[in-house]
Chains A and B, each alone.
Chain A
Amino acid sequence: MPLETDRKIPRFDFGERAAHWMAAISFLYAALTGLALWSHKLYWLAFVFGGGATVRGWHPWGGVVFALALGVMFSRWARQMRLDADDRTWLRLSHRYMVHDESGLPEAGRFNAGQKMLFWMQSALALLLFASGLVLWWPEIMPRALRLLAIVVHPAAALGAIGGIIVHIYMGTAAVPEAFRGMMQGWVRPGWALSHHPRWFKEISRH
């Protein structure tokens, strides 16, 4: 059966897109204001966002919004993000995916194994960021031992998360054309779905 190339395949519903973009905007804000406080060389970013004291006051709230949005994403996707045997094979051969040689790679479902790993990595780091962030938010009432831990855990987890997001942004824009529209407008072309997420496309085509 030939593909109806003009068809719009629903990829993400509005709830998923709203949660994703709330998380994205709040993450970007928290990351940029956080980087301002991470290094004196990046402190100029604090002035972009209203000055050091403003950044200190609002950065934690950016984190709270991010945590809430990520919580929605987590509840929507956690089940679909479980890794199966195919995913493990995919991860073992992921170096081939990176160079556009997909011989031997199992067919991806709605999310490929790389996306699943990003999801779990960002969720775990967000948990660390949230816990350590609460400690740093109110230093005057937190025990010293916790503050000493948080002062290094928070930037370490943040840098890991930012590294992951740099790759994620690249994948979602330049590296995989049309993926961005899937998250922005919510639909993809059948050819895209068959090429990138064949198992998912076959599943939804059966219904």
Chain B
Amino acid sequence: MQTVAKLIDTTLCIGCKACELACQEWNDQEFTLGVFQGTYQTMPDLAHNFWNLIKFNERETAGGMSWLMTKYQCMHCADPGCLRACPAPGAIVQLRNGIVDFNHDHCIGCGYCITGCPFDVPRLSPATKKVYKCSLCSDRTAVGLSPACIKTCPTNCLTFGARDELLRKAESRAEQLRADGHAQAGVYNPQGVGGTNVLYVLKDATEPEAHGLPKDPTIPLSVALWKGPLKWLGTLTLVGGILGTFFHYVRFGPRTYEGQEK
């Protein structure tokens, strides 16, 4: 099966936030009032019932300022930190088309995925005690529809399709931008998580932090340690402890004393 992807060309985003609304509508999310921070940003951050946020970042430049509007949601990593950290089999699944989806019937609400995610995306619902995030509309893509955010985008900033194709498209768009004088333009597809199925075209790819994207996201070291060497060490401790004591008994027997009760 082909890997699918979402391409976000930030240079074409006009900050209309139609994608936010479409996401809320399709996923049947109630809107909870947030805090007004004096910006155009709907909410300060993602929430368990708000999976798609346009971050309105301002940056001072030589000539004045630039307003960086960046759609933020689950990145659908090829090597998802949430999936690595999840202790409940089947609660987080990676579909064959690359979508990383949560299955709430199996979610136990431990929140390990929140810690495992290098993009800080999953959110725990205080009501259901389960964790939520963007599913790349797996219920739509499964029947050949494009995700709600993409369907609604009026500027073609968002496109959905085969990952290979979109990656080529992103590279050629970056090239076009460089030819137009944006020397730092490039594609955001961080390799620390094996690449992502959400791709960005950034006007300045050398500084993704300005867009609110982590510079070099990787699987957290402690999660890798826990799921790697500690697994072996732990198994050795358990099996070694049980077999070791058992064979100690077989070899040396109990410690007895003179006059011991029979």
Asked whether A115 is an interface residue with its Cβ less than 8 Å from the other chain, the reply is: no
Q: Is the CB–CB distance between A98 and B226 below 8 Å?
A: no
Asked whether B120 is an interface residue with its Cβ less than 8 Å from the other chain, the reply is: yes
Q: Is the CB–CB distance between B230 and A144 below 8 Å?
A: no
Docked pose: A147 CA to B118 CA in angstroms: 13
If A40-B89, A43-B87, A192-B257 touch, whether A159 touches B114 (CB-CB below 8 Å) is no
Asked whether B222 is an interface residue with its Cβ less than 8 Å from the other chain, the reply is: yes
Q: Is the CB–CB distance between B222 and A98 below 8 Å?
A: no
Instruction: Specify which chain B residues have a CB less than 8 angstroms from the CB of A53 in the assembled complex.
Output: 107-109, 129
Partner pick for A151 among B222, B245, B254, B258, CB 8 A cutoff: B222
Of B157-165, B176-184, B185-193, B236-244, the one touching chain A: B236-244
Docked pose: A55 CA to B109 CA in angstroms: 10
Q: Is the CB–CB distance between B87 and A139 below 8 Å?
A: no
Partner pick for A43 among B88, B124, B240, B245, CB 8 A cutoff: B88
Q: A141 to nearest B CB, angstroms?
A: 10
Asked whether B154 is an interface residue with its Cβ less than 8 Å from the other chain, the reply is: no
Docked pose: A194 CA to B257 CA in angstroms: 9
Q: B259 to nearest A CB, angstroms?
A: 4
Asked whether B85 is an interface residue with its Cβ less than 8 Å from the other chain, the reply is: yes
Considering only residues 226-262 of chain B, those with a C-beta below 8 Å from chain A are 226, 230-231, 233-234, 237-238, 240-242, 245, 248-249, 252-261
Q: Is the CB–CB distance between A140 and B111 below 8 Å?
A: yes
Q: Is the CB–CB distance between A139 and B124 below 8 Å?
A: yes
Partner pick for A98 among B233, B248, B260, CB 8 A cutoff: B248
Asked whether B16 is an interface residue with its Cβ less than 8 Å from the other chain, the reply is: no
Q: Is the CB–CB distance between B110 and A56 below 8 Å?
A: yes
Q: Is the CB–CB distance between B230 and A155 below 8 Å?
A: yes
The tally of residues in A whose CB lies under 8 Å from a CB in B reads 45
Asked whether B215 is an interface residue with its Cβ less than 8 Å from the other chain, the reply is: no
Instruction: Specify which chain B residues have a CB less than 8 angstroms from the CB of A191 in the assembled complex.
Output: 257-260
Q: B206 to nearest A CB, angstroms?
A: 25
Q: Is the CB–CB distance between B114 and A139 below 8 Å?
A: yes
Asked whether B41 is an interface residue with its Cβ less than 8 Å from the other chain, the reply is: no
Partner pick for A56 among B109, B242, B260, CB 8 A cutoff: B109
Docked pose: A151 CA to B238 CA in angstroms: 19
Q: A168 to nearest B CB, angstroms?
A: 10
Which chain B residue lies CB-closest to A156?
B230
Asked whether A160 is an interface residue with its Cβ less than 8 Å from the other chain, the reply is: yes
If A43-B87, A151-B223 touch, whether A98 touches B238 (CB-CB below 8 Å) is no
Q: A134 to nearest B CB, angstroms?
A: 13
Which chain A residue lies CB-closest to B112?
A151
Q: Is the CB–CB distance between B89 and A43 below 8 Å?
A: yes
Docked pose: A175 CA to B220 CA in angstroms: 43
Q: B94 to nearest A CB, angstroms?
A: 15
Q: Is the CB–CB distance between B115 and A177 below 8 Å?
A: no
Q: B68 to nearest A CB, angstroms?
A: 24
Provide a sorted-by-A list of 19 A–B residue pairs whose CB atoms are within 8 angstroms.
A37-B108, A37-B110, A39-B231, A39-B234, A40-B87, A43-B87, A53-B107, A139-B110, A140-B124, A140-B126, A148-B221, A152-B222, A155-B234, A162-B241, A163-B241, A175-B245, A191-B258, A191-B259, A195-B258
B residues sitting closer than 8 Å to A (CB atoms) are 85, 87-89, 91, 106-112, 114-116, 120, 123-124, 126, 129, 220-223, 225-226, 230-231, 233-234, 237-238, 240-242, 245, 248-249, 252-261
- Other contacts beyond A55-B108, A139-B115, A176-B255: 15, CB < 8 A: A5-B259, A43-B88, A99-B252, A100-B252, A136-B110, A136-B111, A139-B114, A147-B114, A148-B115, A155-B234, A159-B230, A159-B238, A166-B245, A174-B249, A178-B260
